[in-house]
Amino acid sequence: MTQTRTRLSVDERRAQLLKLGKDLFGDKTYDDLSIDEIARAAGISKGLLYHYFPSKREFYVETIRAAAEELMVLTTPAEDVASGDRLRVSLTGYINYVDENALAYATLLRSGVGADAEVSRIVEASRLAFVNRLLTGLQLDEPDPALRATLRGWVGFVEGASLDWIDHRDFDRDTLLNLLVTALTAVVAAAHAPRG
């Protein structure tokens, strides 16, 4: 056991621990996961874990950084991919990542370190209320799954565009309003269009 361990380089061991961290933090919140559990799951001593990461917080932050880097690599098409294919190739990488790391992805985007589950529930319930209201507006109480995902996506669009507006304040409110309205019309029409 010890021998196998020493054969791993420092970088390999770090990478291995960060991969493990992604799964562990996907499963439990930051507060609920103890250093003891992390060390046990890794099959190493707490002392050795601290050798690689001086604190639980540092381990968590590095886990997120490694996940962000992994996502960036997975969504970067090879140089020789034709420009017309690059978006699909990149998004396929993104979806693969989401698929394989569903728990970690959801945990990170819904909350973050030390996040409060109750707060996340309130925010998510508020988003769903928007989606449901849109469905009522569209007179669609039982949408097909792709339309439901499109509306949930549009709520994300509203939030992303609103955050951009707050950050820059370089266009007026009417432009933002029109942008949100036309985006909804456009994505709903796209969700109904035949796919290929």
CB of 13 to a copy of itself, least distance (A): 22
Residues 6+ apart with CB under 8 A from 120: 110, 111
CB of 133 to a copy of itself, least distance (A): 8
Nearer to a copy of itself by Cβ, of 46 and 152: the residue is 152
Nearer to a copy of itself by Cβ, of 14 and 48: the residue is 14
Angle at alpha carbon of residue 79, lines to 73 and 85, rounded to 5° = 90
Percentages helix, strand, coil for the chain, rounded to the nearest 5?
A: 75, 0, 25
Per-residue burial over 160-196, b if 16 or more Cβ lie within 10 Å, else e, is eeeeebeeeeeeeeeeeeebeeeebeebbeebeeeee
CB of 45 to a copy of itself, least distance (A): 26
CB of 141 to a copy of itself, least distance (A): 16
